[in-house]
Amino acid sequence: MLPEERRLRIAAQLRRDTRVRVEDLAVRYSVSGETIRRDLQVLEERGILRRVYGGAVAQEARGWEPGADDRAIARLDPKRAIAAAAAALVEPGETLVFDVGTTVAETARALPATFSGRALCVTLPAAAELAGREGVEVHVAGGPVRRGDLACVGAGTEKFFERFFADRAFVAASGVHAKAGVTGEHLEEIPVRQAILAQAASVYVLADGAKLGRIAVGRVCPLSAVTAVVTDSGADPEAIRALEATGIRVIVAPSGSELE
C-alpha cells in the first residue's frame, strides 16, 4: 500500500471515529508505530487532525473538502486498473518518466519485478516505489518539494527534464477534452509537464473516467501531442467516442471483475 493511500484511509477513519490510536493503526496496516506517527504528522500539517498522546483526534481543516478522502479511496480500483494497463506498455531497457499523481505512482508500482531501465520521477512516492529495485536507475527531478504529494515543482524541475530524452512518459491530467485537449488545475505543474512532453518519444495521459470531457483552468497540450489516453472501464462511452473522433487512441483498462 502506498503511504498516501494509507493516509487517506486514516483520514477517512478519523472522519468516522473522530479519534485514532497509533498502536491500532500500526496493527491494521502492518507497519511500525514510527511510520504511523509520520503519517499523522503529515496529516496534521494538512490540517486534518491534531496529534495527541498515543494517537490523534479529528480537526476541521481550513480549505479541506468534506469527503475528498473517501472519494479518493473509492477511485483507487480504477486507478490501479489504469496503472496496470499503462505498465503493460513498457519494454525492458526503456527510460521512463513518471509525472505527479496517485495513478502515475501506481504505474511505477505496477511495473514488472523484472523491469530494468531508467526512471525519471517528478514525485518522491514514485521514486520510492522503484528505488529499491535492482536494475532500475532512479532520478528525482530537482526543485522545491511540495507538501502533501511530495512533488518537485518550479523552474529547476522543468530544466531537469530538458536534459533528458525518454522513451515513454506517463503524465497526469485534471481534464481531457476533445477540443481543449489536456488540461491541469495546478498551474505550476504545466511548464514541467510541457517539458516532459517535448522530450519523450511516447506520451500516455493517465486519466480516470471522471476526467474525460472535463476542462481545467490550464492548458497543457492538444491531444495531437500525446500518444494515447489510458482510462478505466467506468468512463462515459460518449466521452471516449468524442476523444476517438479526434484521432487519439484511447486505451480502456478492464476492471478487476472483467479480468476474472
pLDDT at 257: 45
C-alpha cell, 196? 516532459
pLDDT at 71: 47
Compute mean pLDDT per 10 residues along the chain, 260 residues long, and list them: 79 80 94 94 82 84 42 70 95 97 92 94 91 92 85 92 97 96 93 97 97 95 98 96 97 68
Q: 93 and 36, same structural domain?
A: no
Q: Identify the domain containing residue 191 by its residue range.
A: 75-259
Q: 237 and 110, same structural domain?
A: yes
Q: 191 and 109, same structural domain?
A: yes
Length of the chain: 260
pTM of this structure: 0.73
Please say whether the beta carbons of 256 and 81 come within 8 A: yes
Regarding beta strands 95-98 and 117-121, do their DSSP bridges make them parallel or antiparallel, or are they unpaired? parallel
Q: 225 and 152, same structural domain?
A: yes
Q: 215 and 149, same structural domain?
A: yes
For the chain, the domain total comes to 2
Q: 194 and 99, same structural domain?
A: yes
Q: 87 and 7, same structural domain?
A: no
The domain that contains 50 carries what CATH number?
Answer: 1.10.10.10
Q: 253 and 126, same structural domain?
A: yes
Q: 250 and 205, same structural domain?
A: yes
Give the domain-ending residue among 15, 40, 71. 71
Give the domain-ending residue among 50, 71, 92. 71
Give the domain-ending residue among 71, 106, 126. 71
pLDDT at 256: 55
Task: State the DSSP string of the chain.
Answer: --HHHHHHHHHHHHHHHSEEEHHHHHHHHT--HHHHHHHHHHHHHTTSEEEETTEEEE-PPTT--TTHHHHHHHTHHHHHHHHHHHHTT--TT-EEEE-SSHHHHHHHHHS-TT--EEEEESBHHHHHHHHTSTTEEEEE--SPBPTTT-BB-SHHHHHHHHT--EEEEEEE-SEEETTTEEEES-GGGHHHHHHHHHHEEEEEEE--GGGBT---SEEEE-GGGSSEEEEETTS-HHHHHHHHTTT-EEEEEPPHHHH-
Q: 126 and 67, same structural domain?
A: no
